[in-house]
Amino acid sequence: MKDITKQSVIGFIGTGVMGQSMAGHLLETGYQVVVYNRTKEKASKLIHRGAKWADTPRKVAEISDAVITIVGYPTDVEEIYLGENGILHHLTRGSLAIDMTTSSPKLAERIFEVGKDKGISTLDAPVSGGDIGAKEARLSIMVGGDEESFETAKPLLDLLGSNVVYQGKAGAGQHTKMCNQITIASNMMGVSEALLYAKKSGLNPDNVLKSITSGAAGSWSLSNLVPRMIDEDYAPGFYVKHFIKDLKIALESSREMGIKTPGLELALSLYEELAQNGEENSGTQALIKLLET
């Protein structure tokens, strides 16, 4: 496998809410970065800062030593990696591809096998921490794949997150992210219900937060998303539509393993109802709007 140095070209596919900040950290550290996004306008700030633009994922692959992807859905991942013009067909042997999308564990395993046949190392490395974690390079990164590939990739990943953990073979990163999303699913219901209770009982929500965030109820969602709920700020740090996608993957995997997940099922049903109400492009904290109706 190629060593990753400051002379390496790093491709970055997906410059949305999180990807833009993540690619920016690579630029700030001195890496040569080439970017692609379906909407070029979303990459304009990165291009202005020195990133090179490529018209297709194929072109990114052809000029990159390593490629990082963070896109929307497993279908996008499949097309970008395995499609006719997918990056695994155009990266050179010894290259590295890191998918940081929350996607299907089975797809991650498939990508790994195709990459292995072509002499390309692949990692599934989904993240948690939302837009704040991406901006502050404090993401939690969960990595599956070959351990040697992980060690090669770790200096890059350390620029994007503060908690980078190797979880095991291909697909292990995605399975770990499912654990993360299952935890968040029930927690989001809890923090929404707690805020609604605080409001209805006449309490000052800000004062309630001061008391409960440092106690046993403390969580990332409580500390970072409830203040947005209080301010009626529903801008996406993480889209409702993408959370629904994640919960469906988690539920499918859980059923395949024979696991009962009643909290996950309830959360998915509530978020689907929220999306049907026109909130699919809102942040996950918009769940409070459904409960308030």
Which SS3 state, helix, strand or coil, does residue 248 take?
Answer: helix
Copy the structure tokens of residue 38.
């379906």
Query: For residues 170 and 106, what is the distance between their CA atoms, to the nearest angstrom?
Result: 9
**Helix H or strand E segment including 31:** none
The rounded radius of gyration (Å) of the Cα atoms in the chain is 19
Is 122 within 8 Å of 112 (Cβ atoms)? yes
Residue 178: closest CA among 126, 222, 131, 139: 126
Query: Which one of the listed residues 2, 118, 154, 177 is annotated catalytic?
Result: 177
Tell me whether residue 245 is one of the annotated catalytic residues.
no
Work out the burial of residue 237: count CB atoms within 10 Å of its CB; fewer than 13 is exposed, 13-18 middle, 19 or more buried. buried
Is 64 within 8 Å of 38 (Cβ atoms)? no
Query: For residues 211 and 101, what is the distance between their CA atoms, to the nearest angstrom?
Result: 35
Copy the structure tokens of residue 57.
């994922």
Residue 244: closest CA among 225, 264, 271, 282: 271
Which residues share a beta bridge with 34? Answer: 11, 52
Q: Give the residue numbers annotated as catalytic, written as ranges.
A: 177
